[in-house]
Amino acid sequence: MAASLWTYEEAYVTTQPTVPRSSWLALGAVLLAGFLHTFDVTVVSIAAPSIQDGLGASDAAVQWLLAGYSLAFALLLVTAGRLGDAYGRRPLVLAGIVAFTLASALCAAAPSTGVLVAARVLQGLSAALLAPQIAPVIILLFPEQRRGAAFGVQAAVIAAATCSGPVLGGLLAHADLFGLGWRAVFLVNLPVGALALLMAVCWLPAERSARAPRLDLAGVAVATSGLLLLLVPLVQGRETGRPLLLMPLALAGVAVLALLAPLQRRAERTGRVPLLAPDLFRDRAFPAGAAVNFLVLGGVASFFLVYVVHLQDGLGFTARETGFTLLPFAVSAALASGASVPLTGRLGRPMLEYGALLMATGTGVLLWLTVAQGGGLRPLHVLPGLVLCGVGMGLLSPPLYNITLSAMSRGGIGSASGVFSTFGQIGNAFGVALVGTVFYGVANGAAGSVTAVAWALACQLAMYLLALALLRFVLPRPGRAAGAAHPGRRRTVVRERLPH
């Protein structure tokens, strides 16, 4: 089979208006792997009751099916992003796909709850190897003028995984295909993982470093222990029934993470690769964008938690009715993500503000209608609010990711992607812990559920309004970002023989 030489410089140099087919195929490989991660998060939530019945699992074990995955995923994100900077994206992507596929097979074959929880932790670690590499692949392989389209495709894939997870999860768990029951939920990952691996082997180019890097192992140890101390109370605090007793652990985690700054400066002086890219927090663009990501994902994650409980336990909706009631959010987010690509070119940064404003407006509409309808709430009542929230999410997330990470130097893209995603995961856990505590503290039967979900929606509205304020007054315009102007930066040529 004939072979050809091509380089990253040929693929993404800013003066070239077209994108090679190989770049799209490489993006397809990492997005397929990313689809598996998002799909698995939602599908396991829906299949949890069937898993509990099939294995005779306790409520605590079922919680760890979700919490174990989330914890493992969040703990490794920053390290995996920096490993991608140090050793290239290709080995991390390949290792992540292989490990995730094998962990999925182990989940499907799990003979006991303990084995299944362990396999879910392996899935989370494997997904963490993959997730921080997606944005760097886009930024490295696509010229600046075409990155919006690539980020739009990524957002559409995430939305498709979010949409299909609840529906397909319910169908697979209850269809009992070939007598597999809930195990089919994990087996569907195998062919998708195999295809993603084949595409990555064929089309994802390698980066070659001029010298072997020395990773900052002390920084890795401090970041991992600090995140563990911070996340365990947030993820598991509510389930213990005494979340406030675990708060000292979270405060200790913040204190440990504060040690990273001097450690990173020392690592840079001694010639090691710092865990956090040196220019990560040197201008306002990255911390402001990461804070917005924290707030938005915290609001969305907590919304789905409390509103699902409100619909099912408070109003008596079935799981199927609940899934179809909330589906407009995911569908409108997917459609808006595609529209965000051309709109970004026309509106620029203000489109982020419009997205946050739509999310706040939609949440306000949901709050009003939920209280007004009370126990008589029906799916059509929440449709306008869900559509507004979904459109706002679709307009906000893809360009936020692009604007926040595009200002980074090439040597720190993976680190930035990992930290950005970690902020989102911490925001997810924080939102669920905070809003969940408010909701469950107020809820008491059907009437109490209406009042409780109203308080929860008010908390989420405050998150979106704070995100809007950050976008309006703190996030700098792209042209003013410190890292935005790198047109003269010399491109590192990385060669790889690839088949046609």
- Strand 495-499 to strand 3-7: parallel, antiparallel, or no bridges (unpaired)? antiparallel
Rg (CA), the chain: 22
Nearest to 428 by CA among 2, 28, 7, 38: 38
Q: Is the pLDDT of residue 479 over 60?
A: no
Q: State whether 185 and 232 are in the same domain.
A: no
- Mean residue pLDDT of the chain comes to 79
Same-domain pairing of 208 and 254: no
Q: Are residues 196 and 220 in the same domain?
A: no
363 and 285 share one domain: yes
225, 312: one domain: no
Residues 266 and 335 in one domain: no
Q: Name the most confidently modeled range: 322-331, 371-380, 473-482.
A: 371-380
Of 54-58, 105-109, 120-124, 376-380, the poorest mean pLDDT is in 54-58
**pLDDT score for 339:** 79
For residue 77, the domain's CATH number is 1.20.1250.20
pLDDT digits (tens, 9 = 90+) for 270-305: 777 778 877 777 777 888 999 999 999 889 888 887
Q: Is the pLDDT of residue 112 over 50?
A: yes
Question: What is the pTM (predicted TM-score) of this model?
Answer: 0.77
In the numeric block, the tokens 């997904």 are attached to: 127
The percentage of the chain sitting over the pLDDT mark of 70, rounded to a whole number, equals 80
Both 260 and 284 in one domain: the answer is no
- How many structural domains compose the chain? 3
Are 288 and 200 within one domain?
A: no
Pair 265, 298 in one domain = no
Judgement on whether residues 111 and 32 belong to the same structural domain of the protein: yes
List the domain range (segments joined by +) for residue 435.
280-482
